[in-house]
């Protein structure tokens, strides 16, 4: 993907970093606009932009280090392979079915406990109606349930059913250093089997990126990320960024997917981003103890059963308020209530709906089985009201 803008140096800038999981284009199904942080399988991809960067004054420059901009070690090198061999048994391949979209997707996870608690990106499991996880260490496949997730930080925790004796990942929660050697490891391409590995260095700390969905215009900002020039790819989402000792220092989240570029400052290579493992673990612990908040969701997700066109009304004009229904899921609470394509949802339990994201935030406060009053305007311009009982649906 390219950008139409041209920098002052006369060369087109590199495309924004793309997410790391084979995925479909985002949409709102049930409770939330699925903020896509991953590329679609045959359905396009999302756009990424890189935001502001900051580090403590005593730190090295966040933009680049003195290390080469290209990967420091090839993915087939003896050193990289040796490091990866230490880490592989503590990883899992994650395969999801997204029945409402008619899609399947894949990603990676990090084993936190021997009984099958898995750390991964939220975007690896959002929209999933079923999750199958294969442990790299023992080769066994398990069904997984979602313990909880934080969409704003792109972190999720899964629990494998019937797992025991799993090899756990070795973690290093100290702050990474610009210039240190790292290896990105994960389920590149979603092919499963022995994880792929790509060597590189840490090129910046405390990076911020904004994920923007081409389909509905929704965005998600992640901050405090580790930047690396290791060639991590789609499918590596939820995988590990490790140091030379084979300890996980970050969770792979986004990358420029194999695109080599020349920056205005003169460095060239790849851009990959990982959530520092200490930050991911802090959120995982909140989820483990069931500490829900405005951003942390615990347990199953309430489901209304609509796909939302977040950008336009039926005439293609920008909406001043409301969320336009693009699709109603067959058999869902929305269908039972009488909602139809083209209807505009304007409130939930008396709270105004000004956008698709507002609808998402409102419905995420409820649990499956809760009843809510939905108000909408139908295709004829008439106001309609119905009380519906939310069912259980996929994580957002």
Query: Of these residues, 38, 65, 237, 360, which one is catalytic?
Result: 237
Q: What angle do CA 270, 276, 282 make, to 5 degrees?
A: 155
Q: What is the Cα–Cα distance from 16 to 14, expressed in whole angstroms?
A: 6
237 catalytic residue (yes or no) = yes
Query: Of these residues, 93, 95, 135, 154, which one is catalytic?
Result: 154
**Can you give the length of the chain in residues?**
396
User: CB count, 10 Å around CB of 369?
Assistant: 11
320 catalytic residue (yes or no) = no
Phi, psi of 100 (to 5 degrees): -70, -25
Instruction: Please choose, from the candidates 335, 172, 203, 361, the residue with its C-alpha nearest in 3D space to the C-alpha of residue 273.
Output: 203
Residue labelled with tokens 């951003």: 295
Q: What is the Cα–Cα distance from 381 to 370, expressed in whole angstroms?
A: 28
Helix (H) or strand (E) holding 165: none
Instruction: Please choose, from the candidates 279, 299, 31, the residue with its C-alpha nearest in 3D space to the C-alpha of residue 154.
Output: 279
Query: Of these residues, 93, 95, 123, 332, which one is catalytic?
Result: 123
CA 262, 264, 266, 267: dihedral to nearest 10 degrees? -50
Q: Of all residues in the chain, what percent are helix, strand and coil, respectively (each to 5)?
A: 10, 40, 50
Instruction: Please choose, from the candidates 245, 232, 246, 217, the residue with its C-alpha nearest in 3D space to the C-alpha of residue 275.
Output: 232
Q: What is the Cα–Cα distance from 81 to 75, expressed in whole angstroms?
A: 7
**What is 12-80 written as a DSSP string?**
PPPPPPEESSB-PPP-EETTEE----SB-SSS---EEEE------TTSPPSS--SS-SS-SS-TTSHHH
Helix (H, G, I), strand (E, B) or coil at 287: helix
- Name the residues annotated as catalytic: 123, 154, 237
């Amino acid at each position: 993907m390219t950008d139409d803008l041209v920098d002052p140096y006369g060369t087109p800038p590199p495309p924004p970093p793309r997410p790391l999981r084979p995925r479909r284009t985002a949409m709102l199904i049930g409770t939330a606009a699925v903020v896509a942080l991953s590329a679609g399988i045959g359905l396009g991809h999302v756009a990424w932009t890189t935001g502001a960067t900051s580090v403590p004054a005593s730190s090295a420059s966040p933009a680049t280090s003195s290390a080469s901009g290209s990967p420091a070690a090839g993915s087939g090198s003896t050193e990289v392979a040796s490091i990866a061999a230490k880490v592989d048994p503590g990883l899992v391949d994650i395969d999801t079915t997204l029945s409402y979209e008619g899609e399947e997707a894949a990603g990676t996870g990090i084993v936190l406990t021997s009984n099958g608690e898995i750390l991964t990106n939220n975007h690896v499991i959002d929209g999933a109606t079923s999750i199958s996880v294969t442990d790299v260490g023992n080769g066994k496949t398990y069904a997984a349930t979602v313990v909880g997730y934080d969409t704003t930080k792109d972190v999720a925790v899964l629990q494998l059913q019937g797992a025991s004796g799993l090899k756990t990942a070795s973690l290093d929660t100290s702050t990474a250093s610009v210039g240190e050697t790292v290896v990105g490891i994960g389920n590149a391409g979603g092919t499963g089997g022995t994880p792929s590995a790509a060597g590189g260095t840490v090129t910046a700390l405390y990076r911020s990126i904004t994920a923007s969905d081409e389909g509905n215009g929704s965005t998600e900002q992640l901050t405090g990320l580790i930047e690396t020039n290791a060639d991590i790819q789609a499918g590596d989402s939820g995988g590990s960024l490790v140091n030379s000792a084979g300890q996980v220092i970050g969770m792979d989240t986004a990358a420029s997917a194999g695109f080599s570029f020349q920056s205005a400052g003169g460095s060239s290579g790849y851009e990959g981003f990982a959530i520092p493992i200490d930050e991911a673990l802090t959120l995982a612990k909140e989820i483990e103890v069931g500490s829900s908040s405005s951003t942390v969701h615990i347990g199953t997700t309430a489901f209304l059963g609509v796909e939302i066109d977040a950008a336009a009304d039926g005439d293609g004009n920008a909406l001043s308020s409301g969320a336009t229904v693009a699709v109603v899921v067959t058999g869902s609470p929305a269908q039972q209530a009488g909602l139809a394509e083209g209807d505009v949802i304007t409130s939930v339990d008396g709270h105004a709906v000004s956008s698709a994201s507002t609808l998402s935030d409102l419905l995420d406060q409820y649990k499956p089985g809760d009843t809510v009053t939905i108000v909408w305007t139908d295709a004829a311009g008439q106001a309609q009201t119905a009380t519906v009982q939310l069912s259980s649906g996929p994580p957002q």
